[in-house]
Amino acid sequence: MPRLRERTAGIHAATEELPLMRALLAPTADANTYRHYLGALQAVYLAVEPVLYANLSPALLSALGVRPKLPALQQDLAALAIRLDASPGESPALRAPGLSSRIRAAVQGEPAALGGLYVLEGATLGGRVIARRLRQHWGPDCNMPFAFLEFRGANPGSEWRRFGNAINLWCAQHDGDAAGLGDPPLIGDQVIEGAIAVFESMHQAFRDAGPGDKP
């Protein structure tokens, strides 16, 4: 986990500085801005999440304590579409051409998928921070749908620690099996490569989505 944080710190910081994220966290953010952000996220999750889960064993998924987040995203987008009197498919950020094929090429096998899941789970954990900021901006009468941003339960920190401990244990066990073999790279390196590939895809999708101020 420390290596994952260190190796993804740069792309993480760069993503937070994108116009879409700045628009979302600005005091002027409104329902359209929020919907634009969720649309960009959905473009990523549609392409990435099924590939990651298909590459991870049920036993490892159980140890990690995770489940897909795409249904929560789609629930929020549907609720916002009703509120804004718009079709869920009208969001300009729902398209990420070629992303599915790039992810399938980059994520092959359990180690890379585990790294990619680190990125998606981290985004879910960070969602609570974003939700808190939005509630502050919109006041006590805020009735926005936050199924994705508040996906984690009452103890998100403990869930994240469980996830991190499972990654550390799994990598230690499998790197021990591979020690001295030389080729392929150690499992931990493959996990990091998968995380970087998924984070770069998320960054590109957010960058291509624009500033988030679409009507």
Report the Cα 158 to chain-centroid distance in Å. Answer: 18
Predicted confidence (pLDDT) per residue in 51-87, tens digit:
999 999 999 999 999 999 999 999 999 998 866 655 5
| Per-residue pLDDT tens over the stretch 11-46 | 999 999 999 999 999 999 999 999 999 999 998 999
DSSP conformation class of 154: S
Q: Token pair for residue 15? A: 């993503």
| Contacts for 165 with CB less than 8 Å, ≥ 6 apart | none
So what's the pLDDT on residue 213? 47
Q: Which domains does the chain have, with CATH numbers?
A: 2-209 (1.20.910.10)
Distance CA 17, CA 186 (A): 32
Query: Terminal CA-to-CA distance of the chain, rounded, Å?
Result: 40
Q: What is the pTM of this model?
A: 0.86
Of the CA atoms within 13 Å of residue 105, those in its CB half-sphere come to: 6
